[in-house]
Structures are given as C-alpha cells and as structure tokens.
C-alpha cells in the first residue's frame, strides 16, 4: 500500500511539472528587474531583441557549479549573434560568495543578485537550482530547464531560436 502511494504521489508530481512546463512555453517572460554585481540595473523588457538565458543558481549548488563551464562555452559561442545570459544568484547566497565565485571563474556574462527573491518569484517562485529559462527575441519563454540540460539539445535549441526573426 505504501509503495502504491509513493508511486501515485510521484506520478502526480511529474504530471504537475509537465503541466507547468507546457503552460510556461510561449508565455511572456515576467518583467522583473535585475541588479548585477557591478550595480547595473535593467529589466527583462530591456533585453527584447536578444535571445536570453536566465539561469537561477547558487554557489552551494553542486550541479550549478558543474554546469558553469558549459554555460560559459555557450555564452562565448552564441553571444556575438545576440545571445545574452544572466546568472541569477538565489536570495540565500551571500553577495560576497557570489562575487568571489564570479571573479575566480571569470564569468563573462551578467551575474545578478536576487537579494529579496523578487526575480525568483517573478519567474514562478523558483526555489530549485539550477533552473534555467530560455527567452526568445520577442520576450517569450521558449523552454524551462530544471537541472542541467542535455547540452547538445540545448545548443541546437539556441541555434534555432537565434535563427527566428524578432
């Protein structure tokens, strides 16, 4: 009986996740304000015309740290073609740890602090890291990743979205 209950709960959780992912696709990205480590502020709307990746991460997240080299590689490969990335540190991550991580690893993309959690709330109450959103040039969410993506598929999707008109 207990085993059936666990399976049923897992099935409901998977189905709920699939529904959220399906509803997210094509939805407009939330209009949130980012504050970078350097103090620069900008809104999601300011990034229209670019393909944008918003990656929620934490210095204490092993998967986040492991995927950063691939995120850097993607940024280097696609940024000349209008690809932008914002790595949003979760509200519980101390700004000094985030700054130290970004400096030591020479992160080439924007790193934002989400001190009050407003950015995470704006993107649907993100609380699991890494969670990543790919946004097209028109400001619509194309894909939401929970965990590390399949990198081949990830690059193919970015190629396809970059090829779409604004």
CA 161, CA 84: separation in Å to the nearest integer? Answer: 12
CA 120, CA 102: separation in Å to the nearest integer? Answer: 20
Q: Is the pLDDT of residue 153 over 80?
A: yes
pLDDT attached to residue 166: 74
What's the pTM?
0.84
pLDDT tens digits for 34-91?
A: 999 999 999 999 999 999 999 999 999 999 999 999 999 999 999 999 999 999 999 9
**Cβ–Cβ under 8 Å, residues 58 and 92:** yes
Q: Which domains does the chain have, with CATH numbers?
A: 2-163 (3.40.30.10)
């Amino acid at each position: 009986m207990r085993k059936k209950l666990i399976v049923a709960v897992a099935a409901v959780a998977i189905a709920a996740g699939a529904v959220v992912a399906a509803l997210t696709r094509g939805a407009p990205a939330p209009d949130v304000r980012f504050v970078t480590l350097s103090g620069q502020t900008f809104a999601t709307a300011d990034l229209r015309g670019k393909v944008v990746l918003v990656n929620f991460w934490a210095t204490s997240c092993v998967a986040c740290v492991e995927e950063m080299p691939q995120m850097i590689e993607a940024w280097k490969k696609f940024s000349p073609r209008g690809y932008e990335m914002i790595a949003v540190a979760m509200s519980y991550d101390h700004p000094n740890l985030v700054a130290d991580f970004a400096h030591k690893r020479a992160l080439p993309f924007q790193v934002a602090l989400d001190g009050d959690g407003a950015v995470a709330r704006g993107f649907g109450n993100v609380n699991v890291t890494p969670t990543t959103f790919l946004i097209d040039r028109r400001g619509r969410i194309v894909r939401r990743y929970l965990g590390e993506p399949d990198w081949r598929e990830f690059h193919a999707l970015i190629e396809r979205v970059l090829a779409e008109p604004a």
